């Protein structure tokens, strides 16, 4: 049974990276890939995006094979083309030229029309002290909420 509300997230993204700018893109998929995604059998935790010859691709995104397919199966971790307009691709490729910058997926979801979309973000890697600071702020906020609740 297919899921009507698909919401696959990359939960580590905000902890590992400073997110700067976000885009929503379509994904070029094959028939069995879309069926597996609608069943919720996809993961973007280890995925990242690259820019090659004026096109943006997502790498290492895992989509499980569709069980009911007869003989035609897709590769679970193949590169998939992202559908963006020209200005967005130019902005992304300029950003990726600098060292330490990357393009990561944040969320995989279904649009209102039933198309699979992916939210990607321009990001810079965090240092260890930045991660510690985020954890400290999160703990402080939790303590404040507990105190307010009492």
Q: What is the pLDDT of residues 62-87, one digit of tens each?
A: 888 877 766 677 777 888 999 999 99
Alpha-carbon separation of residue 118 from 58, 142, 143, 144, 148 (angstroms): 10, 31, 34, 34, 37
Structure tokens at 6: 């698909």
Tell me what pLDDT residue 34 has.
84
pLDDT at residue 1 greater than cutoff 60: no
Tell me what pLDDT residue 23 has.
92
* Residue pair 105/61 in contact by the 8 Å Cβ criterion: yes
pTM of the entire structure? 0.79
For residues 49 and 57, give the distance between their C-alpha atoms in angstroms, rounded to a whole number: 6
**What pLDDT, in 10s, does the model give residues 95-109?**
988 888 899 999 999
User: Domains along the chain?
Assistant: 7-149 (2.40.280.10)
């Amino acid at each position: 049974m297919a899921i009507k509300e698909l919401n696959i997230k990359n939960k580590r993204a905000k902890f590992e990276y400073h997110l700067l700018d976000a885009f929503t893109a379509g994904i070029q998929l094959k028939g069995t890939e879309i069926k597996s995604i609608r069943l919720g059998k996809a993961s973007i935790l280890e995925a990242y995006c690259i820019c090659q010859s004026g096109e943006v691709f997502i790498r290492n995104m895992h989509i499980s094979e569709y069980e009911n397919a007869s003989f035609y199966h897709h590769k679970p971790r193949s590169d998939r083309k992202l559908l963006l307009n020209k200005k967005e691709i130019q902005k992304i490729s300029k950003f990726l030229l600098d060292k330490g910058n990357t393009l990561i997926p944040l969320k995989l979801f279904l649009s209102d029309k039933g198309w699979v979309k992916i939210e990607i973000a321009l990001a810079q890697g965090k240092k260890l002290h930045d991660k510690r600071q985020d954890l400290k702020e999160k703990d402080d906020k939790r303590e404040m909420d507990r105190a307010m609740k009492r």
